[in-house]
Every structure is written in C-alpha cells, then in structure tokens.
A and B are shown apart, each in its own frame.
Chain A
Amino acid sequence: DVKVTQSSRYLVKRTGEKVFLECVQDMDHENMFWYRQDPGLGLRLIYFSYDVKMKEKGDIPEGYSVSREKKERFSLILESASTNQTSMYLCASSFPGQGANGYTFGSGTRLTVV
C-alpha cells in the first residue's frame, strides 16, 4: 500500500522553538507539498518541491523553510515557532504532471505552539 508518512500526529512546542516536521513517501514521487489547514480557510500551500534540492514558495511561506535532500523526504521547518503557527500541517506527493490524478496525502500533524 503506497504511503505518505508524517512523523508525528500531534506536537506541542514552545514559542521560539525551532520545529521540524518530517514527511516521507514511498512512491518515488518527484513532487512534494506542505499545506496548512485552518478552520474556514481550507488548505493553504506553504512550499512545494519538484525535485531533490529544489523548492518553490507557495501562498504562505513566511515563517517557514523546507529541505529536500532526498527524493523521498520533505521537511518543513519553523525557524522560530509562534502561536499563530498552531495548525494542522498536511504533506502530499505526486508524480510530475499528475495534476489530473491528484495527490496522495499523509495523515497530518497537529501542531500546537504554546
């Protein structure tokens, strides 16, 4: 069964901490994405990557960075966590040009910053 795995389901971090959210896929997908999901705002794209070491900003990249050192792993980094980054974070992957087939999502990480 193909999978996108996010390392944590729930995280609680303190304001100012550096936070790493990890995502691993086993489908050899080139494209990987990080979204955040907030009530009433739907899904908002933070960053995406279409190849190893490549990244593109999404709609809301401020306060975040990403790392893609290996094809299967895409990390989201909160350099200095703030309370307004409390949210559900979703990772997804796809083959290039596979927009017509959609994405495969992980189960999400619910991050609380206190």
Chain B
Amino acid sequence: GDSVTQMEGPVTLSEEAFLTINCTYTATGYPSLFWYVQYPGEGLQLLLKATKADDKGSNKGFEATYRKETTSFHLEKGSVQVSDSAVYFCALSYSNYQLIWGAGTKLIIKP
C-alpha cells in the first residue's frame, strides 16, 4: 500500500543553518504531496503542497519539489530561525477523503 517515510528526529540545528528534512513515498498512482507543521501545543497547519511531478511548493522560506523519479518531497530552508522549531509532517493524498501521513520529524533550532 501507499506510505510515507520521513527521516527520524529530532533534527537539531543552529540558527541560520541550512535545513533539509527528507521525505520519500510509495504510491500506486500520482498523489498530491504535502508538508504540514505543528508548533508546540498546537494543531497542524498546511505549510506547502505540490500536486504533480516537478511542481515546487513554497511558503515562509520553505521549499519542496515533487520528484517522481526519486519518489521524494524533501523539505528545505536556506536559513532557519528559532521560531521554526516544530514538528514537520509529510503526507500524500489522492484527492479522496484521506491523507497518508509520515511519522513526523521534530526540528529544534538553537540560538
């Protein structure tokens, strides 16, 4: 079945460092791909999405490119801030009811 695999955390970086959080997926069709972010004590918010191969989603300095050939959707940011500390979830969907979720990656940014 379809699945999403994320790198295990926590990922700990210093402020202004470059961020990559890896996400790979297994899919039988051509899903849409998402990154969600969960700040401490909060629910999840949609961070960015891509609906077809080679699309790039971007928001708040974060980017991810839908790579069909490597079945990946890695999240990147050029210079992280303490306020980016959160849990990041990768997910896929076929425009039906359900999202299929990765396990989440906790990001800790130190000043």
B36: CB under 8 A from chain A? yes
B27: CB under 8 A from chain A? no
Q: Which of B13-21, B65-73, B74-82, B95-103 contacts A (4 or more CB under 8 A)?
A: B95-103
List chain B residues, Cβ under 8 A from A50: 97
User: Which listed residue, B94, B99, B102, touches A102 by the CB 8 Å rule?
Assistant: B99
A12: CB under 8 A from chain B? no
B49 in contact with A48 (CB, 8 Å): no
B34: CB under 8 A from chain A? yes
Q: Whole-angstrom distance from the CB of B108 to the nearest CB of chain A?
A: 15
A107 in contact with B43 (CB, 8 Å): yes
List chain B residues, Cβ under 8 A from A90: 43-44
Residue in A closest to B92 when the chains form the complex, CB atoms: A99
Given A50-B97, A99-B93, A102-B49 in contact, is the A108-B42 Cβ separation under 8 Å?
A: yes
List chain A residues, Cβ under 8 A from B101: 42-43
B49 in contact with A100 (CB, 8 Å): yes
A64: CB under 8 A from chain B? no
Residue in B closest to A50 when the chains form the complex, CB atoms: B97
Interface size for A (C-beta < 8 A) is 28
Q: Whole-angstrom distance from the CB of A50 to the nearest CB of chain B?
A: 6
B36 in contact with A98 (CB, 8 Å): no
Interface centre among A6, A48, A99, A103 (most CB of B within 10 A): A99
User: Which listed residue, B32, B97, B102, touches A48 by the CB 8 Å rule?
Assistant: B97
A27: CB under 8 A from chain B? no
B25: CB under 8 A from chain A? no
A41: CB under 8 A from chain B? yes
List chain A residues, Cβ under 8 A from B89: 42-43
A105 in contact with B99 (CB, 8 Å): no
Q: Jot down 20 A-B pairs with beta carbons below 8 A, ordered by A.
A: A6-B43, A40-B103, A42-B89, A43-B89, A99-B32, A99-B93, A99-B94, A99-B99, A100-B32, A100-B49, A101-B49, A102-B34, A102-B36, A102-B93, A102-B99, A103-B99, A105-B43, A107-B41, A107-B43, A108-B42
